[in-house]
Chain A
């Protein structure tokens, strides 16, 4: 699949993954830097994040790099089992953990170790025990079938060339009647073949 996809898109998938990790490690380790996308608490507030954002530690929110507000389509309910795809430093996971409460649970998965370190530290700081963070890739989720009620994500699926694999995995891990509730980037004008080969356009 990877070879066929590489040929179709014309990019080196290993290089793309490495560049994505480099970009988001920088967002984790040097959040004060200027990035090509907006970051931080002021950006999340401008997106009208729910009141639970207030209690999410600055150590997580300073590395928030979402593209919109997935909670704008509805709050999560107490008791729900949530998976956060590409959780980064954990802002959305920690908002979700407060919404679902102790009877619910949240698992955040991300491929960038520096982000996971921040997310775990922020969860401890917030004092929540219903959230865990796992290293892995969203195209091959390390979870059993029908394991979650809700899958959330923010600005992650657009980074992944093999979207069929991502949506198949989401479908697999969602329980019947479960839902996907995500924020992502949409492109409204055609992108040329040359543009699709430009890794900078992918990593933004």
Chain B
């Protein structure tokens, strides 16, 4: 994000999105890769 010129970068809590998947295979893959939902806020600098 910094590389793209954003500042004041803030991230939120991780959400275990794929633990809610109906498919066991998806839940396992998400676990393996550590796939989580998250949130991010960042600002474009003022002039």
A contacts, CB < 8 Å to B:
34-38, 43, 46-47, 66-70, 72-74, 155, 164, 167-168, 170-171, 174-189, 191, 195, 201, 204
Contacts and interface: CB of A to CB of B under 8 A. Distances in A.
DSSP class of A's interface residues: helix, strand, loop or mixed?
mixed
Interface residues on B, range: 20 to 34
Nearest to B46: A177
B27 to A, nearest CB: 9
A187 B34 contact: yes
Contact of B33 (A177, A180, A189): A189
9 contacts: A67-B15, A73-B39, A73-B41, A167-B4, A177-B44, A178-B43, A180-B6, A185-B35, A189-B34
Contact of A182 (B22, B29, B32, B39): B39
Contacts of A47: 15
Contacts of B35: 185-188, 204
Contact of A171 (B6, B17, B36, B46): B6
Interface in B8-27: 10, 12-15, 17-18, 20-23, 26
B17 A38 contact: yes
Contact of A36 (B6, B26, B41, B45): B26
Nearest to B5: A171
Contacts of A155: 37
A178 B22 contact: no
A18 B39 CA distance: 27
B45 A68 contact: no
A73 B23 contact: no
A6 to B, nearest CB: 22
A164 B14 CA distance: 23
Nearest to B43: A179
Q: Which 10 A-B pairs have the closest CB atoms?
A: A188-B34, A68-B37, A67-B37, A38-B20, A177-B46, A167-B4, A189-B34, A36-B26, A34-B22, A73-B41
B39 A72 contact: yes
Contacts of A168: 4
